[in-house]
Amino acid sequence: MRVKSEKKNRKNPSTGRRRESPSGRVLSRRCGKALDRSESDQLLRWFDAVRRDLSWRRRRDPYSVLVSEVMLQQTRVEVVERYYEAFLASFPDVRSLANASEEEVLARWSGLGYYRRARNLHRAARVIAGRGTWPRTAASLRELPGIGEYTAAAVASIAFGEATLALDGNVERVLARRIALDSDPKRALGRRALERAGLDLVDGGRAGDSNQALMELGATLCRPRSPHCDVCPLSEGCAARALGRAEDYPMRRVRRQRLAVCWVTAIVERDGRILLLRRPPAPGLMDGLWNLPTIELEAERTDCSDRELARRFAREYGGRWSVAGARARAHHSVTYRDIDVLIVEASIGSRAEVAESEEAVFVEVAKLPPSAWAELPTGALVAKALEALFRARAESTHAGQGSARSTATGS
Ligand code: SF4
């Protein structure tokens, strides 16, 4: 009759609190093993004692929580710390964000990368401002543009107290280890097992803190390598630890093979200004941001002559191009692509010659670094390419001075 007792102990949907068995213990739905309910209390006690003082943890309103959760997707905590308060200072509430232009939003996002997130956040703000009220559950937050399952659950639990589980990569690792999950956590079966295990740890009265505690645990103790099981609040009931195989979980998936690619990026300088181009927003790489003119070379054609490169830039962007040779190299990566970037100096007949599909602007070099171009959201490659170019120029000036000095000394 174990199945029956498991059903009895599901959370009360109206309060989100766990129903206890007569013995006061919560039953794991995965294997029927009794879990001491003090585990979720232990987790919260640990979190209360060690939680990092991060800017977004000082705010609980849904807007601030949503902004932080979107920023934290694929971006390190230290980086988000640098941008979060400034973004909220520019757009202090959902209405101010909704009323801003996309250009302004992207400019304030500049430096955080993955600009699609900023566009979706902007669109979501417009929907919320238009309705005049916030969706308060994970299911209704999920209907906002670009808000995935994790973000919806995080906002619902932290801002509105919903007893739901926010399952990000860190939490997935903690839970997969805790139950020694022997299937792929990305597939339905594995995911359901993790959700059940995670919900057992969510305290109905402090759901947001429970979720943040699990995230914190994954970020600080239950690291991918060398987890600190000896000080972990969940160590007692952790199956992977008991097996002595913590690092084997979660089960690895076969990774997509990385692809080596070559791009050529053109620096077109005119009167101390550099040409940036922008394509109208559309799905795809670098969508809607200002970028240096860039073409991709086929793997077998990376040794193109300057004339051939000029022909290709003209084909891609319109106008009459000439290329004056490679000046520097940089490395860039986008998802599974490792990109070797060749930086060339080039000129174009006239700005008016740029193809109609492009917007063009010449930006003062003096306004470097690009993050200072508050009014102009740029792709990450712009900063990298310009830094590599100016470093190469400085080195060549330095070498020139050195050789001039040795010539003078020698004469
Ligand atoms: S005991 Fe170790 S493996 Fe298990 S959750 Fe804690 S840190 Fe992770």
pLDDT digits (tens, 9 = 90+) for 72-114: 998 899 999 999 999 999 999 999 999 999 999 999 998 888 8
Ligand 1 atom nearest to CA at 234: 6
Give the residue, by CA position, lying nearest to ligand 1 atom 4: 238
Ranking 21-35, 154-168, 311-325 by mean pLDDT, the lowest is 21-35
30 Cβ closer than 6 Å to some ligand 1 atom: no
Q: What count of other Cβ atoms lies within 10 Å of the Cβ of residue 251?
A: 13
Q: Which CATH architecture has domain 2-248?
A: Orthogonal Bundle (1.10)
Ligand 1 atom nearest to CA at 232: 6
Q: Provide the b/e sequence for 77-105 (b: ≥16 CB within 10 Å).
A: eeebeebbeebbeebeebeebbebeeebb
235 Cβ closer than 6 Å to some ligand 1 atom: yes
Give the residue, by CA position, lying nearest to ligand 1 atom 3: 246
pTM score above 0.75: no
pLDDT digits (tens, 9 = 90+) for 361-401: 777 766 555 554 556 677 778 888 888 888 888 887 777 66
180 Cβ closer than 6 Å to some ligand 1 atom: no
177 Cβ closer than 6 Å to some ligand 1 atom: yes
Cis peptide, bond prior to residue 280, ω within 30 of zero: no
pLDDT digits (tens, 9 = 90+) for 1-47: 333 333 333 443 333 334 333 333 333 333 334 445 689 999 999 99
The domain limits of the chain are 2-248, 259-401
* Joined tokens for residue 237: 């009931």
Ligand 1 atom nearest to CA at 227: 7
Ranking 30-34, 253-257, 325-329, 355-359 by mean pLDDT, the lowest is 30-34
- Write the class of the CATH domain 259-401: alpha beta
239 Cβ closer than 6 Å to some ligand 1 atom: no
CA atoms within 13 A on the CB side of 110: 23
Element (H, E) at 189: helix 188-199
